[in-house]
Amino acid sequence: MDALPPENLYPYTVSRPIYSNPTFEEDNERQAREERTLRERLSRTCGCSGRQALKVVKGVFPVIDWLSRYPIREWLPSDVISGVSTGLVCSLQGLAYALLVSVAPVYGLYSAFFPILTYFLLGTSRHISVGPFPVTCLMVGSVVLTLAPDDHFLLPGNGTGVNGTKADGIVVDMEAMEAQRIMVASSMTVLVGLFQVVMGLLQVGFLVRYLSDPLVGGFTTAAAFHVLISQLKIVLSVPTNNHSGCFSILYTLIDVFTNIRQTNRADLVAGLLTIVIVMAVKEVNTKFRHKIPVPIPIEVIVTVVAAGISYATELDSRYGASIVHSIPRGFAPAQPPNIALLWNILGSSFSTAVVGYAVAVSVAKVYAAKHDYTIDGNQELIAFGFSNVFCGCFSSFVASTALSRTAVQESTGGKSQMAGIISAVMVMIVILALGHLLEPLQKSVLAAIVIANLKGMFMQVTEVPTLWRQNRADCFIWLATCLASVVLGLDVGLLAGLVFEMGTVVVRTQFPACSTLGNIPEMDARNKFPGIKIFKCNAPIYFANIDYFKERLRATVGFDSVRVFKKRNKALKKIHKLIKKGKLRATETGEVVSEVTLGVDNKGFESERDSGRESGQVEDGDWPVPEVEVHVDWAMELPVRVSVPKVQIHSLVLDFSAVSFLDVVAVKSLRLVIKEFLRIGVNVYIAGCDDEIVWKMEALAFFDEEVIRDLLFLSVHDAILFIKLETANGSMQDAMVEGVRDPEICGLFSDFN
């Protein structure tokens, strides 16, 4: 709604009593906190009825809920079409992403099949396509290359055997290497699944919220660079060493350019053509998505054509092209994970579990919002966890989702996970019957398909200028995470980015935005508030920012209350000495602004005084002499040569409406600050505290004989009106009990901002 023009704005008044927190609680009964015993909580949690049991079962197996209400006639035809299209894409992406894990392509088909089965039963998203994701595949692949490099399987030999390759008289035992690598990948997948299941059972799905959009954007962009470099050597078909960890991209690039003369031209041409064609057709699909009923399955078309050309022209034997070679029919037998490997991959498995879940939930939330339904984050953890445990036992690698594959499933009419089951059937057909037809396919074509699907991840770079304009901190998070992930590797880079993000949060709360409030300048002079300062802190107050809070408060009021107190004591001692000598008379001079009684305990700085006395470092004039009561107008010129800072205010209002929590250090420091102001004659009021802050103050013993609960007010308006009444008639109690009935004063509710 458009704002009203100034001529249509009407003044209004609010008439109600001025409320401090205690008086408000007297008029409105404060609801006591409900405290349950451990037995009551357990009985309520563990109690069971038929309805509750059915609800729990539906929560664990969401398929029971939506399948019983599945509209067959309306949704099944769309799900069939979507499932067939998505199944073909799943098969080809499974073959391609297996290269990222450094295992045989057939294991990519397994990874595109098994996770769908368990997610169908346990998942809450209707639209995501479960299966391999480039980032998680690369994270698994880096662990595979670390624990099972080529150097561990070198055998002396003079020729090339059936299961080995010759390299300068050295034979690599390919069969043993492949078996070990898939064991590492599947064992890591099981461990990733266990991490996710445990996190889901502990209801810690909220932890993914710490992976902010800028952090995920920077991380996935860096992952895209890693994927590109890892597939570049396959497109060029040049030999390289296996690198992982810090500077792995740099080392791989050095190997690629060192051996660039060994590039296989057939693989290079096939790879470049595939990249150009796939990206061009994807652009057409995107541009005309509203006119094309079904997106053109360009990956399928390119793969079939490339496999046919390779078979017809015998690229393997005639031009030395690197092809898939063997895709065995059927499924590999189930095998348990290698327990001995788990201890070596704990850290990498946890980071992979978090990344896989974060990406999947992010994509699921996008489509859930689009189609107006909700997903359960903790149930998603359990669903992906069991999916990874299940597929890890069948020689598969980590499952998540991919935005491109999910977009295919949704855009082709997918309505539910029934489309996912049909896509799994299509993958199964490829595994059991059609896989051998893809054996002549060049690996460079698969690598090119992977590279072509990285466009969306690379396009995230365009977010950086926008982040720079909108929020510099988020921009720095994006850049730091991306740079760290490129240089240090994906697992360490993710941790570094997360630490940097937490650091920015600490810095932003450690140096919060503090402001001084006041009246609107254009208002009438009667609405000005001389002698009153209103200080607002827009952040929680805790141990890390309490010193900054006090610095900003001193800058706002314009003086240091501790220094004022000491200077006044010093001046009073000199005045006392002059009175003893008869040079001054102990009479009032002018209007009394502040009355200070010699001998008042320095309650705000008791520890400082005691420590000074014990160490013998107390300077002359620091402590008052308890003999004579002297009244001094501190606004007037003093009869002694002591520079006492001027105090221009009589009241300070702390606006805590934006303060969300306090800790024990903050409470102690705030109580000390209030006492510092009180002893120099400045009254302090706290406004806008919610019940949780008040409860925390009470729990941490914030209130005592000097700092009483009457200094708490519901709002800044209440505090200002109370101060004006107090200065007008000096009757705080009457103003609080009887309230305000003066229309002129009540009008300040509308005038004050």
Tens digits of residue pLDDT in 183-237: 999 999 999 999 999 999 888 777 777 778 888 889 888 888 888 888 888 898 8
Nearest CA to 723 out of 650, 633, 634, 648 is that of: 650
Q: What does each C-alpha distance from 46 to 57, 202, 382 come to in angstroms?
A: 15, 16, 21
Same domain? For 652 and 527 the reply is yes
Last residue of a domain, which of 445, 477, 507? 507
Q: Which residue has the higher pLDDT, 568 or 211?
A: 568
Same domain? For 484 and 545 the reply is no
Residue 603 in domain: no
CA angle, corner 125, sides to 391 and 411, nearest 5? 100
Same domain? For 347 and 431 the reply is yes
Question: pLDDT tens digits, residue range 638-671?
Answer: 777 888 888 888 899 999 988 888 889 989 999 9
- Please tell me the predicted confidence (pLDDT) of residue 107: 92
- Please tell me the predicted confidence (pLDDT) of residue 113: 93
Structural contact between residues 708 and 678, judged by C-beta atoms closer than 8 angstroms:
no
Same domain? For 668 and 696 the reply is yes
Last residue of a domain, which of 474, 507, 540? 507
Q: Residue 38: which pLDDT band, with cuts at 50, 70 and 90? A: low
Number of domains within the chain: 2
Last residue of a domain, which of 482, 507, 532? 507
Nearest CA to 710 out of 14, 16, 18 is that of: 18
* 161 has a pLDDT exceeding 90: no
Tell me the helices (H) and strands (E) count for the chain, helix number first: 32, 12
Residue 581 in domain: no
Task: Give the residue-averaged pLDDT of 396-417.
Answer: 85
Q: Residue 35: which pLDDT band, with cuts at 50, 70 and 90? A: low
Q: Residue 391: which pLDDT band, with cuts at 50, 70 and 90? A: very high
Q: Residue 33: which pLDDT band, with cuts at 50, 70 and 90? A: low
Same domain? For 362 and 258 the reply is yes
CA angle, corner 88, sides to 84 and 91, nearest 5? 135
Q: Could you give the residue ranges of the DSSP H alpha helices within 259-376?
A: 265-287, 298-313, 315-319, 339-342, 346-370
Name the percent of the chain lying above pLDDT 90: 20
Question: pLDDT tens digits, residue range 573-627?
Answer: 887 787 777 676 665 443 333 344 433 444 444 444 443 444 444 444 444 444 4
Residue 63 in domain: no
Same domain? For 106 and 224 the reply is yes
**b (16+ CB within 10 A) / e for 653-689:** bbbbeebeebbeebbebbbebbbbbbbbbbbbbbbbb
- Please tell me the predicted confidence (pLDDT) of residue 586: 61
- Please tell me the predicted confidence (pLDDT) of residue 384: 94
CA distance 557 to 270: 73
Question: pLDDT tens digits, residue range 515-558?
Answer: 666 654 444 333 456 788 999 888 888 888 888 899 999 988 98
Task: Give the residue-averaged pLDDT of 734-741.
Answer: 34
Q: Could you give the residue ranges of the DSSP H alpha helices within 536-682?
A: 546-557, 561-581, 606-615, 664-678
Same domain? For 463 and 544 the reply is no
The residues, ordered by sequence, that sit 6+ positions from 467 with a Cβ below 8 Å of its Cβ are: 214, 474, 475, 478
Show the tokens assigned to 75.
Answer: 């949704």
Q: Residue 172: which pLDDT band, with cuts at 50, 70 and 90? A: confident
- Please tell me the predicted confidence (pLDDT) of residue 30: 62
Residue 614 in domain: no
Structural contact between residues 114 and 396, judged by C-beta atoms closer than 8 angstroms:
yes
Task: Give the residue-averaged pLDDT of 336-362.
Answer: 89
String of DSSP letters for 80-124: HHHHHHHHHHHHHHHHHHHHHHTS-HHHHHHHHHHHHHHHHHH--
- Terminal-to-terminal C-alpha distance of the chain: 22
Same domain? For 117 and 184 the reply is yes
- Please tell me the predicted confidence (pLDDT) of residue 593: 35
CB atoms within 10 A of CB 605: 18
Residue 673 in domain: yes
CA distance 237 to 215: 34
Q: Which residue has the higher pLDDT, 640 or 158?
A: 640
- Please tell me the predicted confidence (pLDDT) of residue 601: 44
CA distance 529 to 520: 11
Q: In what order do the strands lie in the sheet with 164-167?
A: 154-156, 170-173, 164-167
Checking 251-255 for CB contacts under 8 A at 24+ apart, the result is 253/229
CB atoms within 10 A of CB 529: 18
Residue 459's domain comprises: 82-155+173-324+336-507
Task: Give the residue-averaged pLDDT of 17-42.
Answer: 68
- Please tell me the predicted confidence (pLDDT) of residue 39: 67
Residue 252 in domain: yes
Q: Checking DSSP bridges between strand 164-167 and strand 170-173, what pairing results, if any?
A: antiparallel
Q: What is the pTM of this model?
A: 0.70
CA distance 10 to 585: 58
Q: What CATH number did the domain enclosing 557 receive?
A: 3.30.750.24
- Please tell me the predicted confidence (pLDDT) of residue 471: 86
Q: Residue 361: which pLDDT band, with cuts at 50, 70 and 90? A: confident
* 32 has a pLDDT exceeding 70: no
Show the tokens assigned to 47.
Answer: 């109690």
Same domain? For 391 and 367 the reply is yes
Same domain? For 184 and 304 the reply is yes
Residue 54 in domain: no
* 108 has a pLDDT exceeding 60: yes
Q: Residue 629: which pLDDT band, with cuts at 50, 70 and 90? A: low
Q: What size, in residues, is the chain?
A: 753
* 736 has a pLDDT exceeding 50: no
Same domain? For 501 and 519 the reply is no
Same domain? For 177 and 319 the reply is yes
CA distance 713 to 28: 14
Mean pLDDT of the residues in the chain? 80
Q: Residue 480: which pLDDT band, with cuts at 50, 70 and 90? A: very high
Q: Residue 744: which pLDDT band, with cuts at 50, 70 and 90? A: very low
Q: Residue 388: which pLDDT band, with cuts at 50, 70 and 90? A: very high
Residue 595 in domain: no
Task: Give the residue-averaged pLDDT of 135-159.
Answer: 81
